[in-house]
Amino acid sequence: MATEPLVALPPDWPKMTLKEVDAALTAPGSKFEMETVDIRGVSTRVWKNSPPTLAMLAQAARAFGPRDFTVYRDERVSYEANYRATAALAEQMLAMGIGKGDRVALAMRNLPEWPMAFFAIASIGAIVVPLNAWWTGSELHYGIADSGARLLICDAGRHRRLSDHYADLPDLEQIWVTRCDEPLDGKFRRLEDMIGPTGRWMDLPEAPFPQVDLLPDDDATIFYTSGTTGSSKGALGTHRNITTNILTSGYTNARSFLRRGEMPPEPEPKVALLVIPLFHVTACSAALMTGIATGSTVIFMHKWDPVEAMEIIEREKVSFTGGVPTIAWQLLEHPDRAKYDLSSLDTISYGGAPSAPDLVRKIYEEFGALPGNGWGMTETMATVTQHGGEDYLNRPTSCGPAVPVAELKIMSEDGSREMPVGETGELWCKGPMVVKGYWNKSEATAETFTNGWVRTGDIARLDEEGFCYIVDRAKDMIIRGGENIYSSEVEDVLYAHPGVTDAALVGIPHHTLGEEPAAVVHLAPGSHASEAELREWVAARLAAFKVPVRILFSEEVLPRNANGKILKRDLKALFEPA
């Protein structure tokens, strides 16, 4: 059953049903008109007016001219300056021989160079490979090697992390590094020597934008995700996949207005504080694409800090922020919150991690802002369902209904039959946001993608109006503050320790992060290892956010079911307070 509404809504809300809203907003000739096209042999509903390609989006955004596009510390890059740098960097890649279908890896923290490089790569028909900036050197090496990238564009931090791995990447022809004080030569080049620092992008000559024949369903991105088993997989996305989010966001915003009986306003530029990494589809696809399409200003932080964030919100009159529930909790609970004017905030949205209904209420009551969330995954290039405003307050445990161009169905575990409304099963999704498959992994693609549908691995149910409720997430996945941790990856590292013969990773609740990783291990007879030693062992091999915060030792091998699978539910109970 759905949770009771968190606040008292007007007795005549909603003014329109979801079906009435869909009919009104998607009518022929409207901004959100839909059409059916053939995508890889499957008839698929799409937004008729989505930008066809990232190249066209980059060129159209030039119209916002002097408006700030990105802000980082004291650096401000206008739309015109970003356009000139994008065109100049694209020409540099063409001169190197990078062309359609070539992979270019992008590894850096959120900097103005990130979106500029992203659009330069995609605009020449190359495939952008955004790599997790939190990864270790060996993890970054894997992404570069697996994608077959010819060129790497990175910042100094990722460059140093990869220094011991370059020799094992013979297919990587050049490395372009930004914000690096170290000497560079040979196949290493300084990005500033090619296009200048951000403050001089406006001085770049007005070069013609590269003209490359591109179609909506051409390859555009490889975002890495991880399955619950095996190594990371690159989700191969198209231009249509990522630009779909632009009208999806506009539609769900307009829906909220119609549901309360108001006419949706024309889109206006906003100021967004983007505190989640751009290498996630949530930030790149759901936030950045909408931002550039509306002429909004996107502010980056070097590192998340709630006091600095509140200073930025007050100074820049930020209207939108969020990303993961952690951000909202830290702003709400900070003891200095009253010292700052945060009244400009009108929306705090998030996804990617579980959130308590109490957070939804507090955002509304204490900030006066409307909460929002949604559901999606790397394989759907972010958004499939969106939930906001009064609908979210009314159904705080739902992730919202599917947007009109998407289809959801609940299937039995073996995938043989569709489950009735209200019953739980595996969530399947279809729509123009579903990626083509996994890069160079045909077996995994065949297991996950079926005739336009993606098997999400999430257990969910749909109610009579189509609102989706995630009952349980993909097996063995832990989401720590929006970062996916796949149990098998950490377990494999623990198993590699000479003293460990049995290991399991589980998620334990955390107030602001949602959950954190914890492990239970069984040591071989006669072996000795401390909790600190095992945590150091994992930290030396994986990113810091994947390291178990607690490790318990079991005198017996871990409990298993008849199929030999560890009973993780039983193990979670070991971490509960006595």
Q: Where are the beta strands (DSSP E) in 18-67?
A: 34-39, 42-47
> For the segment 416-442, what is each residue's pLDDT rounded down to a tens digit?
999 999 999 999 999 999 999 999 999
d(CA 362, CA 384): 25
How much is the CA Rg of the chain, to the nearest whole Å?
A: 24
pLDDT at 564: 61
Across 371-398, b (16+ Cβ under 10 Å) vs e yields bbbbbbbbbbbbbbbbbbbbbbbbbbbb
Considering only residues 123 and 226, tell me which one the structure prediction assigns the higher pLDDT: 123
Which residue in the block uniquely carries the two structure tokens 């996949």? 241
d(CA 515, CA 511): 8
Sign of CA dihedral 377, 451, 489, 241: negative
Considering only residues 578 and 62, tell me which one the structure prediction assigns the higher pLDDT: 62
What is the average pLDDT across 339-348? 95
pLDDT at 413: 82
What is the average pLDDT across 304-315? 96
Closest CA to 426 of 369, 472, 467, 382: 472
Residue 562 pLDDT greater than 70, yes or no: no
Give the mean pLDDT of the chain. Answer: 93
d(CA 400, CA 416): 26
pLDDT at 152: 98
d(CA 218, CA 238): 5
Residue 263 pLDDT greater than 90, yes or no: yes
What is the average pLDDT across 227-243? 82
pLDDT at 229: 43
Query: And the tokens for 518?
Result: 């914890």
pLDDT at 1: 40
d(CA 425, CA 399): 16
> For the segment 177-192, what is each residue's pLDDT rounded down to a tens digit?
999 999 999 999 999 9
Query: Among the listed ranges 74-83, 355-364, 438-447, 566-575, which one has the minimum average pLDDT value?
Result: 355-364
Q: How many CA atoms lie within 13 A of 217 on its CB side?
A: 13
Collapsed DSSP state (helix, strand, coil) of residue 334: coil
pLDDT at 474: 63
Query: And the tokens for 554?
Result: 């079991």
Residue 174 pLDDT greater than 90, yes or no: yes
Are 410 and 425 a contacting pair, CB within 8 Å?
Answer: yes
Residue 479 pLDDT greater than 90, yes or no: no
Residue 483 pLDDT greater than 90, yes or no: no
Residue 517 pLDDT greater than 50, yes or no: yes
Residue 230 pLDDT greater than 80, yes or no: no
pLDDT at 539: 96
d(CA 325, CA 425): 26
Residues 6+ apart with CB under 8 A from 120: 85, 86, 87, 89, 90, 93
> For the segment 376-410, what is each residue's pLDDT rounded down to a tens digit?
999 999 899 999 989 998 998 899 999 999 999 99
What is the average pLDDT across 343-369? 81
User: For residue 21, what is the enclosing H or E element?
Assistant: helix 18-25
d(CA 17, CA 372): 19
> For the segment 12-49, what is each residue's pLDDT rounded down to a tens digit?
999 999 999 999 999 999 999 999 999 999 999 999 99
Q: What pLDDT band is residue 226 in, cutting at 50, 70 and 90?
A: low
- For 220-271, the DSSP string reads EEEEEEE-SSSSEEEEEEEHHHHHHHHHHHHHHHHHHHHHTT-PPPPP---E
d(CA 33, CA 47): 6
Residue 227 pLDDT greater than 50, yes or no: no
Query: And the tokens for 101?
Result: 């279908």
Confirm whether pTM is higher than 0.85: yes
> For the segment 60-92, what is each residue's pLDDT rounded down to a tens digit?
999 999 999 999 999 999 999 999 999 999 999
Strand ranges across the sheet with 174-178: 188-190, 174-178, 151-155, 103-107, 127-130, 219-226, 232-238, 437-438
> For the segment 115-163, what is each residue's pLDDT rounded down to a tens digit?
999 999 999 999 999 999 999 999 999 999 999 999 999 999 999 999 9
Q: Are strands 219-226 and 232-238 parallel, antiparallel or unpaired?
A: antiparallel
Across 306-342, b (16+ Cβ under 10 Å) vs e yields beebbebbeebebbbbbbbbbbbbbbbeeeebeebeb
For 218, phi and psi rounded to 5 degrees? -75, 150
What is the average pLDDT across 262-278? 94
Residue 228 pLDDT greater than 50, yes or no: no
For 202, phi and psi rounded to 5 degrees? -70, -20
pLDDT at 205: 94
Q: Which amino acid is at 332?
A: L
- For 361-407, the DSSP string reads HHHHHHH-PEEEEEEEEGGGTEEEEEEEHHHHHHSTT--EEBPTT-E
Q: How many residues does the chain have?
A: 578
Across 15-35, b (16+ Cβ under 10 Å) vs e yields ebebeebbeebbeeeebbebe
Are 505 and 567 a contacting pair, CB within 8 Å?
Answer: no
Instruction: Output the CA–CA distances (angstroms, integers) from residue 292 to 3, 285, 336, in the order listed.
Output: 36, 11, 32
Closest CA to 100 of 90, 114, 88, 87: 90
**Which domains are delineated in the chain?**
18-52+234-472 (3.40.50.12780), 54-66+75-214 (3.40.50.12780), 477-575 (3.30.300.30)
What is the average pLDDT across 506-518? 92
